[in-house]
Structure 1
């Protein structure tokens, strides 16, 4: 087991991507035998969002949201320009995505991910393509954005590009971890 301890400085790169046209593909089909439901979480409570944020992002050093006050997060989640969708299967959340209208026709895929126990079952591609078409289904959408970093799933950037996003800029950063990070849990 390889652990990066809280307090460790970790270099990483953020890649910003965009999509300027709605994809030509149709709504994706669920993998055979998948028994799941995608539900719109309307004005989700902060604890619920944070539980999904941590379940999906803990291994990838998703820590930034914890710096915000809960009242700020609550208002952000309840805003008219926000939409959170949760994928359920077997009675528990399998993954989620959050879309944020940025104005002027731009919709950002602010958060997207699968919980570790749901990875590798073909649901991630389905959920991403559903998120993309949901964003493009909003009236006036002219561009979609997303970002990922080298701390995320090793195939995140490639997955976004295969789904039609194009990198537009890259930035290098250093983060000081606030929690231990178990690198053995990250897929290769």
Structure 2
């Protein structure tokens, strides 16, 4: 009975970690989540709901809105950008009102939900680029958390024995792996 309770609590906690934040909900049940679809068919997707994310390249506060230039990364079902993936291109997201440039600084991870409305011509360096434009109705800035996992099964078994040699030897650098997790 205790094992079933522990498993139930664990599943509840894990399912809470993968849910889509309320700020990234859209009216459409299946919004566009792949920028390559937008780039390949810009006219066919105008006015449709999107949920896109990536790395902020620049932020500019205008009189009544904020303009974010975002290097798009694929997102999972919970809206988290995949930090291991290659960028898919860039898009512009307009947020209503003022967005603090500290919170929305270049290099931070963000996801936006809104509608596609046209495009803007700009430049990346000296290269002319056509940016799809998203008018965001919601957004989520993601924090990167590091988890270090020590995989030293041999040390675990040595500690279960009569002598606990692990305390004296410490862990070996080759035994550690770093996992990155995105959190709101």
TM range (shorter): under 0.3
Greater RCO (Cα-Cα under 8 Å, separation 6 or more): 1
Could you tell me the TM-score, scaled by structure 1's length?
Answer: 0.21
Higher helix share: 1
Give the structure with higher Rg (CA).
2
